[in-house]
Amino acid sequence: MTDSRITRRGMMVRAGAALCAGGLGVRAVAQDDSLVITPRQTEGPFYPRRKPADTDNDLTAFGAANQRAKGDLLTLGGRVLDSRGQPLSGARVELWHCDIHGTYHHVDASSQADQNFQGYGEMITDGEGHYRFRTIKPGLYTGRTRHIHFKVIAPGRRTLTSQMYFDTDMEQNLRDGIYRRLSGAERTAVTMKTRRTSGKTPVIEGRLNIVVA
């Protein structure tokens, strides 16, 4: 009962707190002097041709729509770091992926699109390099494993364009041509660690640190 009454802002705060408490602490990162750089992967043909009017970091609601996007709720976050583990604040993280039907938005009109799904969102990392998004688990489309596209534009650094994957989809990941191209360490660097919360409204929590050269 209470779950259905949780506000959007409340959900984001809770997700952020969970991420902070989830083992991505400064100590663990600072001791590692040689973090694996997040590998670059193709942008693909579905980066928005025109950014939508609503580009916030909650992709589950588009503009003033009252209804939520269809699909399993996914809260996604981590930190943006340099190769020495120092957090990069003020970096813009852009995220885009397909809806539950496997349809990308803001590219071509499609009758199969979930109109309540925002399709694209962006946010600026905080002082500790944190980023977070609220979205849905993407659907599948022919020829790919499930994935989420992202870009990181950090001041003074070359833009990183890549994709992230689910640790629960390893069988499909290992059949995916783009994922298979990566080394073992690079695969780990783009594979989210996920867990599904229990309760009336389960949420998938995904975590991934992004390391920018």
Residues that bind Fe ion (CB under 5 A): 44
Judged by CB, which is closer to Fe ion: 24, or 113? 113
Q: What 8-state DSSP symbol labels residue 167?
A: G
Q: Calculate Rg over the CA atoms of the chain.
A: 16
Residue nearest to Fe ion (CB): 44
Judged by CB, which is closer to Fe ion: 44, or 52? 44
Q: How far is the CB of 155 from Fe ion (least distance, A)?
A: 27
Judged by CB, which is closer to Fe ion: 16, or 44? 44
Helix or strand or coil: residue 190?
A: coil
Q: How far is the CB of 143 from Fe ion (least distance, A)?
A: 10
Q: Classify burial at 128, counting beta carbons within 10 Å of its beta carbon; exposed 0-12, middle 13-18, buried 19 or more.
A: middle
Q: How far is CA 167 from CA 53, 190, 194, in A?
A: 32, 10, 7
Judged by CB, which is closer to Fe ion: 39, or 44? 44
Q: How far is the CB of 7 from Fe ion (least distance, A)?
A: 31
Q: What 8-state DSSP symbol labels residue 4?
A: G
Q: How far is the CB of 148 from Fe ion (least distance, A)?
A: 8
